[in-house]
Amino acid sequence: MFQEILNRVYDVVGCDRMYVELKLFMRYPMPGKYVPIALEDDESLSAMWLSVTQTSAMAMEEHVDSDRDEDDDARNNDKAIKAGVPSQDWLRVDEVDQRTRVASLQQLKNFVKAWSISRNQMFRVLESEPTKYVIECARKEVCHCPWRLRAIMTKSFSFKIVRYVGPHASNCLGDITCGDHPLISSDFVADLIEDFIRTDPSFKVQSILTFVKNQYQFSITYKRAWLAKQKAISNIFGDWDKSYQELPDGTHLYGKYKGKLLIAMGTDANFQLFPLAFAVVEEESTEDWSWFLACIRRSVTDRKDLCVISDRHRGILAAMNEP
């Protein structure tokens, strides 16, 4: 499918493949900006379609880039850089005054990091408490830079910047020349890609690497991108271990009839639970579990390679090992 679309674009544009290489990007809508994500294969094309159909942001469009015209390249690169920087409010962080507010401390941290990364700057944290956040330029002593920011929590639990000194000193220039930036942590990237993961949990790690590169012109390691994805999944869907602990394996009956109520449940398209099978057993023996699992196999599904999550009760293990 992707190759067919690319061929069609070549036909419409009228380019010769021998001299011109076309690249396709989707412009993914984020708060206050669009983020360019490369379309390279059928999987990335499917992810774009999934994003269009499952989110309200229908304004995605394809962006065609070529090396046919250097002026066009310059304009396209400028557009990509503008699309990759933080929201417009934080592009003017040098003009921040005491009216500036953000919803939470985490949002404040992310915005300051995004602004600093986009300008190749560094800061150090002086105070970081639930109700207060104070930072200053990391080159204060070397460059005599006065850059400093102080924010506190308000009565409405939002954060308000109460003191800001800026911009950075004229001699305080970005000196991070390596491909990576210390502020681009896995937690920071997890917040950036949360919308992607919520739309498509199978969003590829390679796409995360491309996204960060397009967003901030810095590269991160594969391991950090993978870890960021795991954190984003945990933030959205919950921690794997905690979720397993909340999974009930049965309900004890305390009325006239003793025993345990076992229920197999499914989830429909609206994420509503409905029972598939239930049974009351007097004890969790191999015989009881064999009968219950056989009922599911016969009446619910006979598919192979099903994943069974359990507390590894001896009766379950013995039943699972039976033909």
Q: What's residue 82's pLDDT? A: 34
Question: Does pLDDT of 73 surpass 50?
Answer: no
Between 243 and 223, where is the model more confident? 223
In the chain, % of residues over pLDDT 90: 11
Q: What is the pLDDT of residues 113-164, one digit of tens each?
A: 888 887 788 899 999 998 999 999 988 998 889 989 999 988 888 888 888 8
Between 277 and 236, where is the model more confident? 236
Question: Does pLDDT of 16 surpass 50?
Answer: yes
Supply φ then ψ for residue 66, to 5 degrees. Answer: -150, 170
Q: What's residue 226's pLDDT? A: 93
In the chain, % of residues over pLDDT 70: 74
Query: 34 falls in which pLDDT band (50, 70, 90)?
Result: low
Query: 248 falls in which pLDDT band (50, 70, 90)?
Result: low
Query: 56 falls in which pLDDT band (50, 70, 90)?
Result: very low
Q: What's residue 313's pLDDT? A: 84
Distance of CA 19 to the CA centre of its chain: 37
Q: What's residue 96's pLDDT? A: 47
Query: 285 falls in which pLDDT band (50, 70, 90)?
Result: confident
Give the Cα separation of 100 and 206 in Å (integer): 36
Domain locations along the chain? 2-84, 88-237, 247-320
Average pLDDT, the chain: 75
Question: Does pLDDT of 238 surpass 50?
Answer: yes
Poorest-pLDDT segment among 26-30, 31-35, 176-180:
31-35
Query: 42 falls in which pLDDT band (50, 70, 90)?
Result: confident
Between 27 and 220, where is the model more confident? 220
Q: What is the pLDDT of residues 176-203, one digit of tens each?
A: 656 778 888 999 999 888 888 888 888 8
Tokens of 77: 């690169």
Question: Does pLDDT of 57 surpass 70?
Answer: no
Question: Does pLDDT of 227 surpass 90?
Answer: yes
- Could you write out the three-class secondary structure of the chain? CHHHHHHHHHHHHCCCCCCCCCEEEEEEEECCEEEEEEECCHHHHHHHHHHHHHCCCCCCCEEEECCCCHHHHHHHHHHHHHHHCCCHHHHCHHHCCCCCEECCHHHHHHHHHHHHHHCCCCEEEEEEECCEEEEEECCHHHHCCCCEEEEEECCCCCEEEEEEECCCCCCCCCCCCCCCCCCCCHHHHHHHCHHHHHHCCCCCHHHHHHHHHHHHCCCCCHHHHHHHHHHHHHHHHCCHHHHHHCCCCCEEECCCCCEEEEEEEEECCCCCEEEEEEEEECCCCHHHHHHHHHHHHHHCCCCCCCCCCCCCCHHHHHHHCCC
Q: What's residue 126's pLDDT? A: 93
Q: What's residue 51's pLDDT? A: 55
> CB under 8 Å to 251, separation ≥6 — which residues?
260, 261, 263
Of 96-105, 223-232, 274-283, 302-311, the range with the highest mean pLDDT is 223-232
**Taking each helix axis from N to C terminus, what angle separates 42-54 and 2-13, rounded to the nearest 10 degrees?**
90
* CA-wise closest residue to 23 among 86, 82, 78, 77: 77
* CA-wise closest residue to 279 among 295, 257, 301: 295
pTM: 0.50
Poorest-pLDDT segment among 46-60, 153-167, 229-243:
46-60
Of 68-82, 88-102, 292-306, the range with the highest mean pLDDT is 292-306
